[in-house]
Amino acid sequence: MTLRVPLPFSHLISTRTSTTLAQMQSPPSATLDALDAEQPSSLLDSDGVNTSTSRDANHLQNRPCAVEKPQEKAGLPPDGGFVAWFHVACSFALFFNSWGILSTFGVFQTHYESGDIFTASSSDISWIGAVQYCMAMMTGFWAGPAYDRGYLRLLVVLGGCGVVLGHTALSFCKTYAQVLLAEGFCVGIGAGCLFVCAVSILPGYFTSRLGLAMGIASSGSAIGAVVYSVVASKLLKHLGFAWMVRILGFIALGILAVPVVAMRMRRAPSSRSRGFIDRSAFTDVSYLLFVVGTFFASSTLSTINSYISFFTESNRLASHDMSFYIVAILNAASFFGRIIPNFASDHLGPLNVIFPCSLVTGLVSLCTIAVNSLAGAIMVAVWLGFFSGVFIAMPPVCFASLTQDKSAIGTRIGMGYSLAGLGYLAGAPAAGKVLNSAGALDWHSLWLYCGLMSIAASLTYLAVRVSKMGFRVLVKG
């Protein structure tokens, strides 16, 4: 029998009674939907899921319109905000005192060539810078997994100690072997610890603006190289080599105090045990090709940084003091070459930017063969500094885009740089052998070698792009 209620009094019937009557005349699925809508708010958790019965909870969980969980939103990088940009500033400081110091090796190479501390060939001297660069890159083999396990602060402390103590020890060195240990190994390993932290921290705070953030942070190495090279040239002239390197260490100590105290990992450390090697990387063709390209790029960059100053002085294009400023000009141009291309990479894709910049770097290196004036040397330093800046700023962005599991970002970056770092170990010494191959200084062959290395890097980066996106031109990648 159907209960009929006069229309004016229908609002007096309780909601619960209406639901009960509806249940009597509705199929089970409709009844369950009605109950879902009427559960008391006290029985709902923060996601709007009914916790009173497991049946209703499972029903809501399987519905297509289930609400996104807040913790999933919380796991996304903020892509901006004070904390995120503050960590860009901290990463800037780490770049300032890692690659900023390493990029001034041209000043040291020129001073060592004078024979004031020890006597060695250009190739032997370049081994100091090569070991320094290589240690900075290969430190990532163990520092990357250590970062993924949450040892951010320990790595920054170890890196700072390596840089400061290495410069202090360098001030007392009298032989080639002592300089190699202090500057090559100690400073190199310390800079590597700082570098891994600088590039691994930012993907936790940025996604769509990661290229810009990484470009701003990596410009710290360009600013650091300008500051350290100018300070080194001034102090070397007035205070001598020993106090020059001590003061460089004191500057690094003061700047690194802020990152040591303030930097924090946004992602919680990986809960599962992670080895030093991510085996899945060896089956990732795009990743492996990119590592090979970065090997060639590393050879190019180490050659430019080691020999641009000595090139201008030995060819009588500049005075001894002015040759130091060529390094500063190179790195000042590199400042813009790390921000502008990285900003463009957020809109065009990192692989679409690093390939043409590598190609232009190679062509400019070949054009250096024809340089015979100070104006030409300055122009080459500007162009090389701008376009080779991508070799520092862009690879971390590319490694991040090629890594699907972001909890392994430190391990992937560390592995990639450890293998690519062999390019730094081989690049400058090989260039030194080429330079001295004809008895006299053969600068034409050196710049030919440098240009071909950069062109090889550009072709390999192009192969990475093709493996990811095919031959389509207007595709972000």
Tens-level pLDDT at each residue, the chain (477 residues): 444 544 444 444 444 444 443 444 444 444 434 434 444 443 334 444 444 444 444 443 444 333 333 333 446 778 888 999 999 999 999 999 998 998 888 789 888 988 888 888 877 888 898 899 889 888 888 888 888 888 999 999 999 999 999 999 999 999 999 999 999 999 999 999 999 999 889 888 988 888 889 889 988 988 998 899 889 988 988 899 999 999 999 999 999 999 999 898 877 665 555 567 778 888 889 999 999 999 999 999 989 988 888 899 888 888 877 887 888 899 889 889 888 988 888 888 888 999 999 999 999 999 999 999 999 999 999 999 999 989 988 888 888 888 777 667 778 888 888 888 888 888 888 888 888 877 678 899 999 999 999 999 999 999 999 988 877 776 675
Q: What is the pTM of this model?
A: 0.71
Strand runs labelled E in 212-370: none
Would you say 135 and 181 are in contact if contact means Cβ atoms under 8 Å apart? no
> Tokens for 474?
């207007």
**CA 73 to CA 68: how far, in whole Å?**
8
* Closest by Cα among 284, 260, 435, 286 to 351: 286
Phi, psi (5° rounding) for residue 474? Answer: -85, 60
Instruction: Please tell me the predicted confidence (pLDDT) of residue 114.
Output: 83
Instruction: Please tell me the predicted confidence (pLDDT) of residue 22.
Output: 42
**CA 472 to CA 299: how far, in whole Å?**
30
263: left (phi over 0), alpha (psi -120 to 50) or beta: beta
Helix (H) or strand (E) holding 365: helix 350-367
Instruction: Please tell me the predicted confidence (pLDDT) of residue 174.
Output: 92
> Tokens for 296?
């060639």
**CA 99 to CA 96: how far, in whole Å?**
6
CA 336 vs. chain centroid, Å, equals 16
> Tokens for 221?
């190495």
* Residue keyed to tokens 């009173």: 52
Work out the end-to-end distance of the chain between its first and last CA atoms, rounded to an integer number of angstroms. Answer: 69
Instruction: Please tell me the predicted confidence (pLDDT) of residue 69.
Output: 39
CA 83 vs. chain centroid, Å, equals 19
How many residues are present in the chain?
477
232-239 contacts at long range (C-beta below 8 A, 24 or more positions apart): 232/104, 232/107, 232/108, 232/324, 233/107, 233/321, 233/324, 233/325, 236/107, 236/111, 237/321
Please tell me the CATH superfamily of domain 75-469, with its number: MFS general substrate transporter like domains (1.20.1250.20)
**CA 282 to CA 296: how far, in whole Å?**
19
* Closest by Cα among 358, 400, 461, 341 to 208: 400
Instruction: Please tell me the predicted confidence (pLDDT) of residue 41.
Output: 40
**CA 401 to CA 399: how far, in whole Å?**
5
**CA 51 to CA 42: how far, in whole Å?**
9
Residues of the chain with CATH 1.20.1250.20: 75-469
Instruction: Please tell me the predicted confidence (pLDDT) of residue 266.
Output: 77
> Tokens for 299?
């050879």
CB atoms within 10 A of CB 8: 7
**CA 140 to CA 200: how far, in whole Å?**
10
Instruction: Please tell me the predicted confidence (pLDDT) of residue 310.
Output: 85
Burial of residue 45 (CB within 10 Å: 0-12, 13-18, 19+) is exposed
